[in-house]
Structure 1
Amino acid sequence: MNAVQLPIQNPPLKGFLRWAYTLSITSAHEETIPWYYSNFIQLSCKKDFLEDGRQYYIDFFRGKPNELNFNNPFLLTCSVNYTILENLALDAWPQFFADQIRSGYYCVVFLDESKLSPAASYQRDPFPHHLFLYGFDWEEKVFNASMFDHTGVYRNVQIPFQEFLEAVQSIRHLLQDSLTADHHTYFYKYEPHVSYSFDKMAAIDQLRDYLNGETHLNRINYNFDNKEAFGINVYSYLQMYFDAVESNDPRLGERNDVRHLHALWEHKRMMSERIEYLVEEGMIPYDEELVEGYRDITKRAMKLRDQYIRHEIREDKEVFEKLRLRFEQFRNEEPALLKKLITLLEG
């Protein structure tokens, strides 16, 4: 086979590539839907971003393990580092990864994205990152890949073998010079070896954690260092972040303003879709206040993100007051809706 493309689907969550890559595989399979809606309830964010100067983030939280590493029940996962791969001759890399794809493995390769022409970082400073490969065409000498392109849109692209080799060679040099850490290369095979029904108890536990601003997920092997906020408490740190942006606080590290608002919108949309799924599957009765309440929060979260995008194009200082208003509204409205959802799930 000179050309192979493994099945993928436009992923439902794209805020961070650890979700986009793995969900683009599993979302193509209907049997994974109950697992999907049993998860992605909790949020976390960084608390000490002004003290340590590192980038603020807000993201879905599914426990401490790296989502790319053995944290999806439908994916058989293998991972290797460059210490293992260094014995693979550079010109053998295209054949090696084409062989894995031919065997049914999706590949998430750690490389220097600044060498890839579709990337926003192309021909700029080195940008160590993961690239998702799901196919290849040997005659055309290209890989089929998914990534955020230079316009910031997550899409499917073709990566010439030559650019791929340059990106691998560059990351090798960065690792040798200790200019970056090795974040490993991953291989995933879809294996529906588990039957997963919607897990009411898991969902209720996550909803309670969200309401209480805490987490009990996967704590057996980790001590939490109080540097993350969870659930409803995230709003306080979102506000702190945008206050720092508004005042141009010199302590603020690398900024990614729109991503934070996009992640917030994805969370509200996911919660709204979950409620509609539960109603459609007959697991909870239709409740107008609950359904319409989360639809409305979702619409306001999307509008807030879009208003901030326009602010970045043409400055509008009033957007910061809109942020304060919306964060306060969400913080006040969500608890009643989530308590209602818990009551309905408990039946």
Structure 2
Amino acid sequence: MKKILPMKYPEITSYSIQSNVLSIIANYEETLPWYHSHFVQLCCDKQSLMIGFTDWAHNDTIFVPRQHVDNSLIKIKWESNICEFLINSINLDFYNYFYIDEYYIPDSNAYQSYKFVHNVFVYGYDIEEEIFFIAGSLKDGKYMFTRCTFTELENAYQSVSPIEDLLGGVSMYKYKKISVDFDLNFVVNSIIEYLYSKNSFQYDKRLHIYKDQFIYGISVYQHLDDYLSRLLHGEDKKIDKRPFHALWDHKKCMLSRIKYMGTNNLLKNADRLFVKYQIIERETLYHRNSILKYSLTKNKDVVEKIRHGINRLVENEMTLLNCFLESITPL
């Protein structure tokens, strides 16, 4: 017996918790209006380099509501047999998200080398081959779809102690078909908040507690520039590609939004805007690749070039986004 739930490689791959959900909804055309209405505004924790979309609050979207099963129930009901639990869950069309020790997962850098507790997303199984189909940020931090054996996943699950398990069980996701319209006003407001670095959490009671914790919008580039300056002067030794990858995700999302809005007659001059924004997307990818190059060469000229390139990119993006706002066709 074999069952694999639908998964499609997502546009956003910065952080697996978000990529997992987007891998589900990317299979369904009815989710496109919602998707292109979101993922505009960026935020960054002041104490770290964690740049991401403010929409991280949508890890469980209206299309994929989340349920949770505590490890204590798995222990009682399934005698801690995670494989049996997962097979039962997948048979009911649930995707499963939980923490494992990647020491036991072949496509991880930690495989048979060191303990590394991280999350995994299980979306299918094959009983004859005794394998699970999994997704996550695995080898070199790259988000991927791969597989592991029943034994490997069982060992990986059992190796995580209660204090290491941030979920304390398994989060389960199941697709729910809902009709949602494109929210043009939300897009406009999000772009304005991005351009003027406004706090996008201030109106959301759930997230208001984070109002002073984050930097928003275009200001995240200044935070990134400060980090690059510390790298240049030897004040920071950690080379972190994640913020650069997150910025590339942002540009890819903007490109697909321009294309979507143009196709649906919501944006004048969409083709011209697409071509110009494509240049920004390619430059952002270049910066992402350059920081990887620096991690190998330690050539500080590379960092200096990234800093100059990002400063030009910010100016060009602000100009282009203002043109974008002027080109919007009212509903």
Name the CA distance, whole Å, in 2 between partners of 1:182 and 1:249: 35
Name the CA distance, whole Å, in 2 between partners of 1:341 and 1:81: 47
Instruction: Report how far residue 151 of structure 1 moved.
Output: 4.5
TM-score where L is the length of structure 2:
0.91
Any residues of structure 2 matched to 1:64-75 within 5 Å, and which? 65=57, 67-68=58-59, 71-75=60-64
Q: Does 1:7 align with 2:6?
A: yes
Name the CA distance, whole Å, in 2 between partners of 1:47 and 1:3: 46
Matched with 1:259 is 242
Q: Does 1:295 align with 2:278?
A: yes
Instruction: Report how far residue 133 of structure 1 moved.
Output: 0.9
Any residues of structure 2 matched to 1:79-228 within 5 Å, and which? 79-89=68-78, 92-171=81-160, 174-175=161-162, 178-179=163-164, 181-182=166-167, 184-192=169-177, 194-217=178-201, 219-221=204-206, 222-228=208-214
Name the CA distance, whole Å, in 2 between partners of 1:304 and 1:33: 29
Instruction: Report how far residue 135 of structure 1 moved.
Output: 0.6
Secondary structure at the counterpart of residue 81 of structure 2: helix
The 8 Å contact of residues 114 and 121 in structure 1, kept in 2 or not, is answered as: yes
Matched with 2:289 is 306
TM-score where L is the length of structure 1:
0.87
Matched with 1:44 is 43
Instruction: Report how far residue 124 of structure 1 moved.
Output: 3.7
Name the CA distance, whole Å, in 2 between partners of 1:318 and 1:121: 32
Q: Which moved more, 1:316-325 or 1:38-47?
A: 316-325
Q: Which moved more, 1:195-204 or 1:77-86?
A: 77-86
Q: Over residues 54-100 of structure 1, what are the superposed CA-to-partner deviations in whole Å (9 max), with x where a residue is unaligned?
A: xx21111116x3x43xx311113212333443434556321111011
Instruction: Report how far residue 150 of structure 1 moved.
Output: 2.6
Matched with 1:237 is 223
Matched with 1:341 is 324
Name the CA distance, whole Å, in 2 between partners of 1:183 and 1:99: 19
Q: Which moved more, 1:262-271 or 1:178-187?
A: 178-187
Instruction: Report how far residue 324 of structure 1 moved.
Output: 1.2
Are the structure 2 counterparts of residues 81 and 208 from structure 1 closer, same or farther at C-alpha, using a change threshold of 3 Å?
A: farther
Are the structure 2 counterparts of residues 288 and 5 from structure 1 closer, same or farther at C-alpha, using a change threshold of 3 Å?
A: closer
Name the CA distance, whole Å, in 2 between partners of 1:12 and 1:81: 31
Q: Which moved more, 1:98-107 or 1:180-189?
A: 180-189
Q: Which moved more, 1:39-48 or 1:112-121?
A: 112-121
Aligned residue identity for 1:139: E
Instruction: Report how far residue 166 of structure 1 moved.
Output: 1.0
4+ residue runs over 4 A deviation: 88-91
The 8 Å contact of residues 2 and 125 in structure 2, kept in 1 or not, is answered as: yes
Aligned residue identity for 1:57: M
The 8 Å contact of residues 11 and 20 in structure 1, kept in 2 or not, is answered as: yes
Aligned residue identity for 1:230: Y
Q: Over residues 11-62 of structure 1, what are the superposed CA-to-partner deviations in whole Å (9 max), with x where a residue is unaligned?
A: 111111022111111001111111111110011112133xxxxxx2111111
Aligned residue identity for 2:228: F
Secondary structure at the counterpart of residue 257 of structure 2: helix
Instruction: Report how far residue 179 of structure 1 moved.
Output: 4.8
Q: Could you list the runs of 5+ residues in structure 2 that have no partner in the other structure?
A: none
Name the CA distance, whole Å, in 1 between partners of 2:43 and 2:152: 36
The 8 Å contact of residues 35 and 198 in structure 1, kept in 2 or not, is answered as: yes
Are the structure 2 counterparts of residues 99 and 83 from structure 1 closer, same or farther at C-alpha, using a change threshold of 3 Å?
A: closer
